[in-house]
Structures are given as C-alpha cells and as structure tokens.
Structure 1
Amino acid sequence: MNKISRKGFLKIAAAAAMSGVTAGALAACNSASSSTAASSAAAPAGTYIPGTYEGTAEGISSTVKVTMTFSDSAVTNVVVDTSGETASYGAAAADQLKEQLLAAGSAEIDGVSGSTVTSEAVMKAAKSCFAQAKGEATVSSVQLPTGDETDWLGKEPDIDEAAITETVDTDILIVGAGNGGMFAAAYAAANGLNFRIIEQNAVVQDTRHWYGAIDSAAAKAAGAPATDKAKLLSEISRYASGKCDQRVVKTWINESAAMHDFMRSILEDKFGWECEFTSGAEAAWPAENAEHNTDYLYPVQEHNYRASESAAGLQRNEALQQYIEELGYGIDFKTSLAKLEKDSSGRITGVIAQSTEDDHFIRYNANQGVLLACGGFPGNPYMMEQLDPLGTSVTTACSYSPADKGYGIRAAVWAGANLDKEAAPMLFDRGIVAPGVDAGYVDSENAFGGKAFPGKIRQYNPGTQPFLKVNRDGERFANESCPYNDIVYAAAHQPGHVYAQICDANILEDVKRFHTIGCSAQTRNAGEDYIKSQMENAEKEGCFFKADTIEELADKLGFTGEAKETFLATVDRYNELYDQQNDEDFGKPAYRLSAIRTAPFYGCWLGASLLTTEQGIAINEKGQALDSDNKPMPGLYVTGDMSGSFFANNYPCLMAGVAMGRTLTFAMKAVKQMAGLE
C-alpha cells in the first residue's frame, strides 16, 4: 500500500472536486448512465456525477462487489455480487440487498436477516459508490498487503501519522476474538485488568469446542488415572519428529489443568453448562493395534462443554463475550490489525489498526504487552502454496474459517518474529469430491487470491473410517487404519492425489467394530440416521454412489478398461484378506478389515479437508514471541493457530483436543505474564 500523506490527500480531494474524478483505490468507471429507470429516492439535480462506480468490501468469505449507476439525481441501476459468500446465506441475499439499495437511494439499508456480515459489506461497498458519485475523495482501505504468487509475505504497510486519527491507551491489547483471544479476555476481565480486544469481523469467531487438558478436575472426578506426563511429552515430540520445543509442550501439560479450572468457573459455575469428559477406552485405539506396532497415538483427556438448556445453541466464545460484557468490558469489532509498533529498544508497544467501517486508523498503545490470537493461514492460497505445497496438493475441500488469512503471522514477521520452518496443516481425510476431480486448488473468480479447493462439502465424516481405499488405477496403496492425515499424504503418490473408499451394506456394523476415535467417532456414535444423512447429502452433490453390484459401482466411480478390471480384482483380494483375518499386504489389524459382499455397495472419491494450519510464530514456554535469533521479543505474545514451536509435519489428529488445549492454556499464560500475575 502506498503511503498517503495529509497534503497528498487534500490535493487529491481538491482535484476531485474540480474535475469530477474521484480518488482512492475504488475506481469509478465513468460510463454513460444506464437506461434503467430510476427507482430510488430522488435527490436534487446535480447531487451526483453521472456514471457507473464500483465499491468493494470484505464479506464473510469473499470480497463483495457493488456496482452502482447514477444520473445527476438518483441511482438508476445496482449490481450486487455476493457470489463468493456462503451459498445459502450471503450469496442468496444479493437480490434483496439490490432492491433495498435502489429503494433507499443511500447506503443506509436494513440488510438481510441471517446475512449480517454480507449485508454490512454490501453497505460499505455502496457507501464508497455514493462517495465517488458525489465527487468526494475516498482513502483506500489499508489491510495488510495480500502478497502474491511468488511472495506470500508482501511489504509492511507504511501509514502516515496524519492518517491516524484516534489513539487508545491500555495495558494489554488482545488481537483476535476467537478461541484464544476470548479466553484471554475472560481471564483478564476476571482479574480486573485494563485491556482491550479488537476483532476485524463483526462478531466473535467460531468456537472449536473440544480441548485437551491433563489431569484436570474433570479427570479426577471421572476417576481417570494420573497421566504419564513424560510419555506424553515424548509422544508429542516424536510425532513432530523432534521439531518442537519440549518446554513449550510442557507448559500445556503442566498448566492445562489450571486452564480448565478457570473455564469451569465460568461455564459451569456461572452458566450451568455441563462438561463432557472423554478418556480411557473411548479415547484410545483398541489394544489390537499394539500387535502391529501402531500403538503410538497417546490418548489425551478431552473436554467438551454442552450449553445448558436455557442457552441451547450458544457457543463458548459467545458465552465468554457475555461474561466480559457483564464485567464492563467490550470488543472493538470491525477493527483490523494493520501493523505492530515498537520503540527504539525493540519492544512491541502496540499496534496500528484500521476501522473496517470508515477506514480511519487507530493507534493502540499497550503498556504491558500485545497478545496476537489471529488464527492461521488456511484461507490464504499464497501462503498455503508457498509454505505448505504438500498439504495444498492433497487437499480437495476445506472446513476452515475464511477469515484466517495469516495477517497476524505476517505482521509479526514484519516486526522481526521467527516463523516456524516446517508446515503443520490440520488435514482430515474427509474431502469428498466427484469422480475425475483432482486435489489442489482450482481457479475461483470470487475467492481470495482467485483460488479455492473444488469440494462442495466441508467434511464427509465417514471418510475417516478404515474401509478399503484404492487409487484411480483400482489399486490398494496403503494401510487404511491410520491417523487422519496419513492416508491423504499417501495419496500424494497416487494419480490426482485422490482415492476411492469402498464399503457395503454392513457399514454401521463395521464402523462400530473399527472404533475410530476423536471427531471421527461421531460416525459410530451417531448411528444409522447420521450415516444416511451424510450419504444423502453427498449424493445430492454428485459425490457419493450406491449400487447393487460391484461392477455397477465401478462404473459409477469412473473406472474403465484395465483400471476397472484391477479394481474388481482388488475387491476380491480384500475379501480374501478379510476371510483370512490377516492383512498380509499392508498389515492392517484384523478388526479393521471388512467384507465387501452385501448389496448395496457404496463408494466415493476423497482427499483432504483442510481445517487450519499450525505453522506459526515461534514462542517460548511463557508464550513470548521469539525473534530470528530465538530471543524473546519484549511486549509480544502469541497463542492459537498462529503460534508455533509445538507442532511440525502435521497435527497429531488423534490426540484429540491438543491444539485447542494449547491455545487456551497459552492465552491464559500470556495474560498472567503481561500483568505480572506469576
């Protein structure tokens, strides 16, 4: 973003007023006015400069565009493009929003219920069109640079002092109202601290409800045996190939019980929620795995709070918002991080942020420190392709937050922080797609960076079950009894980086015997109706197939010629292995083999569904960001998916709740450190 000085701004404004040419990043088209009859509220003649103008703003998952045509006194035509938004909500609201803008003759409209974020983006984009039509200068919105296909980082924005029109002083600044940020805010509020929390979106972000904590009050109440902490530390380090900081892992292991105690004091004691605790046999793979040397998935004690009946549907982050508001605190919504600030000694002193409503800049001075909790970068194709080419290449669908574009990570790197060098995506083997679709990005005009993953379904949960899986040549290629991401990485060596999953009418009986754990347990626990709903939804999208014979299923899945013959032979061979109860081809435990003999037969094509990224800014055991020499950066703390030093290669999917437990533990740890509470 080019630097805009006050003098330059005034010069642009004067020129615009004299010539009728508007200024700013949102350019006018200045075409002849449309022949469409004006239907909006009329203004005095000469109010507008006739022409067509375009405005854009960030919606919930895409850039929303509004194009408006003006006569000298009225809006004569409106085009609202929300095609990149969620199909059933934001995208469907376009026609209603268009009619409201035409009727109102201004950007102040009611919006569409259920599409709040999209409606607000349309209003902001329309406001820009009106400003341009009136010949008013508009200062372009300064977000962090998007980077490009060769440089994911981009250049730190240079913001003129004259453009900073508001200053906020506080002790602690929390950036991001997601899982880490809201828990940090709750802890700060409970201790009566002076803090502010900013969030670029209009609402708190989605909650990842399950979290792992070690030897918590819930574990003790359930009679769970004490955890072998040394073994757990070793297993997490081994999963990361030793590329983690074991001191950081130990902070979670040793302090997550205290984190749970504080969470319990809010959700149980105040709101009356109930904690569902999972450990023991339900949280561990059956012992048969040990016979095949696959008993390396150390179980974690998992916690999940269910809202009370009176608060049904309320998410944890929303409950925490209520909690801090009752204590007199609030959230500065629609306030986007632009850059970190530091003094001559290198200490981080605060941030410069920008209002996404009117684009003015705000300086937040943070006397005791800044906590970044801005999420990872799964929604940024530039970062994904350059920082994790392997994970990108095997992904077919996504279940991430589209707001997670790595802005916080880039701001920290600009300030001198050290980014982990190893990718660590959270990949689920549930990215269902139609036959013939390859993994990896496809062009998408309305998506950020012009790219999106092809799958239309966020996650097909039964995809995790260890049924027979074959490549496009009809060949089996791996042991299907594995952590979520292992099979999709194995598919990186297969045509199209995808694979087909095959099962028969005994699917429910099979999945109960398989006893998968973590979130994949939903398939066996929710039962037949859940499985049917997953199948029917995928079938409607042309991604799931049912057949009376294996030959018919092969045809529906797209196997032809030699590949079809190989596929049929592979199914026969798999049935032989089941009869023998011995997988001599790939060593899958016998209890995870299944026969494919009873009609109807089911099949689908799968790749990875990307949930988030765990490659983040290196931190120490106190949650402090580290610089390129791995020295603490005074005044800067990081938590959540944008923090590093914990995971490498991939996320240990079947150690359920580890990432969220880490996030919450370090959120509380950072506040303690900044406030001098320990």
Structure 2
Amino acid sequence: MNKISRKGFLKIAAAAAMSGVTAGALAACNSASSSTASGAAGQYIPGTYEGTAEGISSTVKVTMTFSDSAVTDVVVDTSGETASFGAAAADELREQLLSAGSAEIDGVSGSTITSDAVMKAAKSCYAQAKGEAVVSSVQLPTGDTNDWLGKEPDIDEAAITETVDTDILIVGAGNGGMFAAAYAAKNGLNFRVIEQNANVQDTRHWYGAIDSAAAKAAGEQPADRAKLLSEISRYASGKCDQRVVKTWINESAAMHDFMRSILEDKYGWVCDFTSGSEATWPAENAEHNTDYLFPVQEHNYMASERESGLARNELLLQYIQELGYDVDFKTSLAKLEKNSEGRITGIIAQSTEDDHFIRYNANKGVLLACGGFPGNPYMMEQLDPLGTSVTTACSYSPADKGYGIRAAVWAGANLDKEAAPMLFDRGIVAPGVDAGYVDSDSAFGGKAFPGNIRQYNPGTQPFLKVNRNGERFANESSPYNDIVYAAAHQPGRVYAQICDANILEDAKRFHTIGCSAQTRNGGEKYIQGKMDEAIEAGALFKCDTLDELADKMGFTGAAKDTFLATVERYNELYDKQNDEDFGKPAYRLSAIRTAPFYGCWLGASLLTTEQGIAINEKGQALDNNNQPMEGLYITGDMSGSFFANNYPCLMAGVAMGRTLTFAMKAVKQMAGLDNA
C-alpha cells in the first residue's frame, strides 16, 4: 500500500472512528518505559498509538508506545472476549509483542481468533508509528447487540491505491455470481467478478425451473402457472411482489437452457430431473392439503459432479477461464459508490491479503450476489428473533454474513421487513439442550448453534413428535419449518421424535418429497449411516423398551408417565387409521411397537436467509420509495420481494431457481440483451 502523508492518515483515522473502519486512534505521548523490541534509530515517530480489530465477541484494542527506535510499552485489552480463552490470553500476547519487534507473533493456543485480532491491531500501531496508513477491514465490526447495520465506512481517497474500470461488476462468486459470470462470458461482455474468499463458494445443487427442456423430455404437462403464482404468494401471506415471482416462472426455462448448454452440451454432464410420482404427493394427501403444497420441477447434476470431481460453481469458473476471464479472489466489498444523480457507479473493495483499497468503476451496473446473513449472529438475532430462537444446528455457509445487504442498505436500498429463514427440521441435539445460540469461542460473533450435526435427514419424517412434558403438540405431516415454529411454543423450543424398528418401511410409505426423500430413497445403508452418526454424537438413542428410551431421552416423573401414555395413544390412532387429535393423514401415522425403539431431540437446522433487498421484475434494487436504483441489481439469498415468513421448502428448488434466473436477467438488463 502506498504511503500517504501524516495529515492524510489522520484524516483516515478520524473518518474511521466515526464509521467503523478500524484505523486506530492517534496520540502523541512520550514513553518513559525502557525498550524491549529495538529497531534502527529514527525508524519510528515517537508516541503512543492505538489499533483495534474484531475478536470473537468484542473489539480488541492494542496500545503501543514507541521511541524513535523501539517499542517501549504494550497494553493489550481483550476484556470483552470470552473469559476463559481470549480474555485470559492478554498477558501472554503482551509479552510476545514486547519481545517480537513486529506484529508477527505466535499467538496463544486455543485463542486463535483473539490472537489474530491482536496481531492486526498491533500491525496498525506499527504502521502509524512509521507514518504509514494501514486500515483494517471495513466490514468489521458488523454491528452489535444493538445495531446490526453499523455505519457506512468513510474511506479517504488517498487510501484507494488501485482502480479497475469495467462495464459490469459481479460481487460474489457463489451460485448467482458464477452463473451471471458464465452468461456474461458467453456473450463476450466486459465484466469483472470479485469474491472475498479464496475460492468459489458452495454449490446449491438443486434448482427449480418451470416447463424446461428437461420437463418436456420427461413428458411433463405444462405447469399451472397461475396456481403456482397464487401458491407462492399465499405461502408468503401476500407479502411478495408477484411480478418478481412471474419472472422466475416465465424465464426459468431459458435459464435452464443456458445451464444445459454449458453443463450438458460442452462438458457432457447429465441432468437428473425429478418429476412424475417421485415429485408428487400421494393421493391421500389431496384430501387434506394439496392446495397448500405445490411441488416444483427440480433439476440437478449431482451424479456428473461426483464423476468429474467438480461442483457446478467450480465448473463454471473453469468455463469463464477458458473464455479468458477470471475471478478477483480475496477481494471484499467495502461500500457502493454513486454519482450526484444517485446512480450506482461501482464499489470500493478491499484486498483481504494486504488491506489496500480498490475502486471498481462499473459503467453499466453492479450485480450484488453476496448471499444472506445466516452466519452473522448480530443480524440473525435482530432481524429474525423467532427463527433464531428455534434453531439448534446450522448447515449454512459461514461466509454468508450479510455484508452485501449492509452495503446496499447504506446506499439507500430497501430491505424486506419480514424475516424468511430457510429452516429444515433436522437440527438434532442431545437431551436437555435448548434451541438458540450458545457461547462459542471459535465462532464469528462469539455465538453458535449447539448442534454438531449439520442436518439429521430422518428428522423430517412425520413420526410422532412430543415436547419435554411428553405431550404431542402438532400435526407432524407438514412443511419442514412448520414443526419447528410449533416448537417455539414448547419448553426449550425443541421436541422429541419417536419411531421404532420399522423406520425405513414407514419412511417409504410417508413418501415425503424434496431433499427429505433422501431418507427413503437412500435405503438401509443411508439411513443407518445417519443414525450411527447421531448415536455416536450422543444425540440419538436406540433402546429395547420404551421405558428405557424414556429414561435415555431425559423424561422423568410426570413427564415420563405422560410420554408413555402419549405413545400408547398414538398407537391407538394408528390402529384406527384416524388421527382424531391433530388430523394427520392416515398413511403418515406409524405404530411404535417393534423394538428397537429410537428417539432424539430436534430443532431447526438453519440453511440460509431469504430476507433481502427489494427488487423489481428486472432484478433492479429498489430504494425506500420502491423506485429502481439505477445501476444496481441483486440476486440470490440477498435479494428480496419473493419470500416472506419462511421458505416454501416443499416447492423444491424454487430459491435456487430464482437465484439463477435473476442472475441471468441482471446481466441481460445491464448489457441491453433483454428484449422482454
């Protein structure tokens, strides 16, 4: 990074203090302490300097005093960190800094995140003492228990040491970003992609597309588009923009055609299309709620991915590289830029390797595809307190911390007001564990969900569910998130699932669809593997009697008596083939009589969030007056206007289908290729 003047650095530091950019406070205080880390005379500007960086759960501060040739004193403040780990490391980290003569120290075992923060803060102190400007990541802090949004960073012009000009800028190399890049590359457009991590992000394999070439080849009848539109709107309680939903319905087939032209025509992959009886609810379900559940045509290329050893996003990276493009990795969004008319003109980004700032000018527009915020506990607790309260495990990408959403809101974009988490009823935990965050020394923000297994797939099967009092409390035949929301009204916000030795036969009869079908389709080997993993983790119990199972599950006293009576009542309902208590379809009842018996405690597994920036049917971001923001497009989990309340998880693949459709739509709009 280029050196700037002392005056220029002070300006950056002052701006940082107001904006959340960690540049360190400057103070000119002479030191009286003796030197322990020496350098050449005149190497430093004598004085005391502060540097800060984000630790596990707090802002870590390092204060260093310099003579003209040495560090004479160090104060390390980690008081806000977890007491037994980060906070306890302060003295040892201080001694290491005093003797090292630089910010590069060994750190303290077991306190890696705090140690890294101390090193980064010390690096800022050294830079200040040398008259240089090193600005720590503008994305941190990400807010706190009172403010998830924080303030937009005010980055001094002198700190921007690189400029890149392009027509289209794509921020994020995940599912939406890589598909947008592939479409732009195919059309020979002038574009750049940036990604804050060192590689493309996880592929979400399944995607929904309506009346695609795959559907036609399978002999599917054309979808009832009006009904599908109505059902998605009803699932969102009418809080969606139906024009946005129609873009996916009407243009997803073209999205699949382009995906197919790459994966199948160029690389020989084979699409697995889910249709017919596999994607249809059994006829008996129609008597209850077929108008509520509307399956969608689902596509994936997983078999070909396994054969090639590449995930879809990795293959799309290879595709654009073969066409002469690439991704700027380790380059993180700091803020959006706009001109005097309010048009988004580009972004300021920051290298995660050396912290220097880069201006990306985007002549035709910026597409943000940065993901949701499931990995950010500040945002989760404040924007989705209900979803957070019923979650016990996570299967999200930890890189999804909502940075794109924050940058868009800073620029004036309108964030959906309704939470829409993607919650799967598979968050298995040990007895006595409550839903919600627990303290974690190693997790971002110092909080994590307690479950150690990302998803226990058999948890979705509609077996008997009871609360900690041993009582049944809901119809278990429901979309994934319904049972976990019902548990929000139960002790600990968790529930137990009970079944017997006929688990696989029952699962086949239940015929759940979407990804929960893996339990019945995977057969004995699959289900046994999932159960063995959970048993080893102490979260699933296999017992010869129900009495023993009750004890293992933690039921005691009146709760144990109630539990055993509830199982007996459930067997009576099975014998009657009539759920008189909660109205579950008869084919989804099951007897609990054949040993061994299985029991586990469950909550939600959080996959992602779908509460995002409001968009129109062209994919343009909307401002707080719901007017288009010129030059700014949004796709993926950080885009809004489509979902509310929760994700319609039984409409398999709709979220990823939406992501890919709007990725292509945005590029068409920016490049003038959309004739719609």
TM category (shorter chain) comes to 0.7 to 0.9
Structure 1 residue 608, shift from structure 2 partner: 0.4
| Amino acid in the other structure paired with 2:336 | L
The sequence identity of aligned pairs, in percent, is 81
1:204 aligned to which of 177, 200, 203: 200
Q: Cα RMSD (Å) of the superposition?
A: 3.0
Q: Is there any run of 5+ residues in structure 1 with no aligned partner, and where? A: 32-45, 57-62, 86-93, 99-117
Residues 462 and 520 in structure 1, CA contact (< 8 A), matched pair in contact too: yes
Q: CA deviation at 1:293?
A: 3.4
Preserved contact between residue 625 and residue 636 of structure 1 (Cα < 8 Å): yes
Task: Establish whether residue 356 from structure 1 lines up as the match of residue 344 from structure 2.
Answer: no
Matched residue type, 1:274: V
2:551 counterpart of 1:524:
no
Cα deviation 1:284-335 (Å, max 9, x = unaligned): 2211111123542111110001354895331111000001111111111111
- The alignment's TM-score, normalised by the length of structure 1, stands at 0.86
Any idea what the Cα deviations from partners look like across 1:223-258, whole Å, max 9, x if unmatched? Answer: 111111111111111111111111111100010000
Secondary structure of 2:106's counterpart equals strand
Partner of 1:78: 106
Conservation of the 8 A alpha-carbon contact between 2:103 and 2:122: no
Deviates more, 1:216-225 or 1:655-664: 216-225
Count of aligned residue pairs for this structure pair: 624
State the match for 2:565 in structure 1: 569
The equivalent of 2:298 in structure 1 is 302
Q: Does residue 1:24 correspond to 2:26, yes or no? A: no
TM-score, length of structure 2 as denominator length = 0.86
Q: Does 1:250 align with 2:246?
A: yes
Cα gap change, 1:451 to 1:10, in 2 (>3 Å): closer
Are 1:186 and 2:182 matched, yes or no?
Answer: yes
Change (3 A) 1:294 1:473: farther
Q: Report the residue type matching 1:626 in the other structure.
A: L
Amino acid at match of 2:274: T
In the TM superposition, what is the alpha-carbon distance from 1:272 to its structure 2 partner? 1.2
- State the AA in 2 paired with 1:235: E
Alignment check: 8 A CA contact 1:468 1:476 kept: yes
Q: Secondary structure at the match of 1:332?
A: strand
Q: CA deviation at 1:451?
A: 1.6
2:311 to 304, 309, 315: 315
The residue identity in structure 1 corresponding to 2:263 is L
Query: Structure 2 matches for 1:368-407, cutoff 5 A?
Result: 368-407=364-403
Structure 2 residue 34 is matched with structure 1 residue 6: no
- Give me the whole-angstrom Cα distance separating, in 2, the residues matched to 1:342 and 1:202: 28
Residue 414 (structure 1) shift: 1.1
Structure 2 SS opposite 1:78:
coil
| CA offsets 1:38-63 (integer angstroms, 9 cap, x no match) | xxxxxxxx99747779899xxxxxx9
**CA distance in 1 between partners of 2:434 and 2:148 (Å):** 24
Query: 1:236-635, aligned counterparts within 5 Å?
Result: 236-306=232-302, 308=304, 312-635=308-631
- 1: CA distance, partners of 2:190 / 2:108: 42
Whether the 8 Å contact between 1:23 and 1:138 is mirrored in structure 2 is no
Whether the 8 Å CA contact 1:334–1:355 is kept in 2: the answer is yes
Give the secondary structure class of the aligned counterpart of 1:473.
coil
Aligned residue for 1:368, secondary structure, equals: strand
Query: Residue 503 and residue 72 in structure 1: after superposition, are their counterparts in 2 closer, same or farther (change >3 A)?
Result: closer
Following the alignment from structure 2 to structure 1, what is the Cα–Cα distance between the partners of residues 215 and 121?
51
Q: Which residue of 1 aligns with 2:662?
A: 666
Structure 1 match to 2:167: 171
Checking the alignment, whether the CA contact within 8 Å between 2:636 and 2:658 is kept in structure 1 is yes
CA change 1:72–1:658 in 2 (3 A) is closer
1:653 aligns with 2:649: yes
Query: How far, CA to CA, are the matches of 2:288 and 2:637 in structure 1?
Result: 33
Query: In structure 2, what is the equivalent of residue 113 of structure 1?
Result: none
User: Is the CA contact 2:49–2:64 (under 8 Å) kept in the aligned structure 1?
Assistant: no
Equivalent residue letter for 2:516: S
Q: Deviations over 1:576-614 (max 9, x none)?
A: 111111111111111111110111100000000000010
Distance 1:310 1:569 in 2: 47
Q: Judging changes above 3 Å, is the alpha-carbon distance between structure 1 residues 126 and 202 closer, same or farther for their aligned structure 2 residues?
A: farther
Pair 1:124–1:178, CA change in 2 (3 A): farther
Point out where structure 2 has 5 or more consecutive residues left out of the alignment: 1-5, 14-24, 30-43, 54-60, 79-85
Given the superposition, is the C-alpha separation of residues 53 and 131 from structure 1 closer, same or farther in structure 2, using an over 3 Å criterion?
Answer: farther
Give SS of 1:481's match: coil
CA distance in 2 between partners of 1:472 and 1:266 (Å): 51
In the alignment, residue 19 of structure 1 is paired with which amino acid? P
